[in-house]
Amino acid sequence: MKSLRLSSPAKLNLYLKILSKRPDGFHNIKTLFQRINLCDELSFQPDDSGKIRISCDHPKVPTGSKNLVYKVARQLQELKPVSLGVKIDIQKNIPVAAGLAGGSSNAATALIGLNRVWKLGLSRRELLNIARKIGSDVAFFLHDTAWALGTEKGDKIRKLDIPKKLYFVLVTPCVSLYSWKVYGAFKMQLTKPGDDANILIRNLKQGNILEVGQLLKNDLEAAAIHLCPRLRPLKKKIQSLGITGVMVSGSGPSIFGIAESEQKAQEARQQLLKRYKQVFVVRTL
């Protein structure tokens, strides 16, 4: 029984349009996903105990049944006759509850890792069916792609071929924002003309960075700032450093913006570190 170690990347949503409320309480959305090189590390050590044991170096990450990785392992044990147990260690580099889908990425990585170390032989379609039960963002991370368009709950994925690699400045302030609260504060509005992810995708493929910066969209941003007004001056500060397309990531509280180069991103990071602890320079994977 060999151990396994896998990277678990974060994501940014460069476009997030909420289309309608679903009967199941979720929302139909249209979103542009992008993987970035800010990654957690998960290690898997199968054993004969039959038990699922989770450890993590971050104090705010649960290690019991509330952890999405634990839920994945339990569902796989119930789906297949798995007699083996596993010890999974999570090394966190992605900020927790930050709008970067670290937990969802960990869940997808657990699906991939356990399928291998437990030798389950599940197809990607079977893994996707489990992923959709765990969380809406999990499905994206099961696809081997840097870019994808997500529809329905965000779990219907279409891979996109976008060769452009972008550099971002990413700041996670020390505030708490829960996604259910942000969605609860969101107010549906009529779709405005020009709210089209296809225009953004076309400019990304053409490498038009300034146009891309003007086309980024997040319907949840206003609700996040309403719940956490401290995000507004942070957004203005990042903009003042010559960064374009500055926007709240997902349901927040992280805020990111596009830099014209890695050097420009690093220069902005040095300025932001004077006030904020969690400041990253990241790029498209």
Residue 240 falls in which region: left (phi positive, over 0), alpha (psi -120 to 50) or beta: alpha
- Beta-bridge mates of residue 45: 87
Give dist(CA 182, CA 167) in Å, integer. Answer: 27
Residues 192 and 173: their CA atoms lie apart, in Å, by 31
Distance CA 207, CA 60 (A): 39
Residue 277 structure tokens: 């602890």
Within 8 A by CB and 6+ apart from 121, the residues are 115
Are the C-beta atoms of residues 91 and 7 closer than 8 Å to each other? no
Enzyme catalytic residues:
11, 137
| Phi, psi angle pair for 37, to nearest 5° | -90, 25
Residue 209 CB contacts under 8 Å (≥ 6 apart), including other chains: 166, 244, 258, 260
- CA gap 70, 107 in Å, rounded: 8
Cα→Cα distances 110→46, 72, 105, 272, Å: 12, 7, 9, 34
Answer for the pair 113, 42: CB distance below 8 angstroms, yes or no: yes
Instruction: Please state whether the peptide bond connecting residue 62 to the residue before it is cis, i.e. omega within 30 degrees of 0.
Output: no
Q: Do residues 283 and 37 lie in contact, with contact meaning Cβ atoms separated by under 8 Å?
A: yes
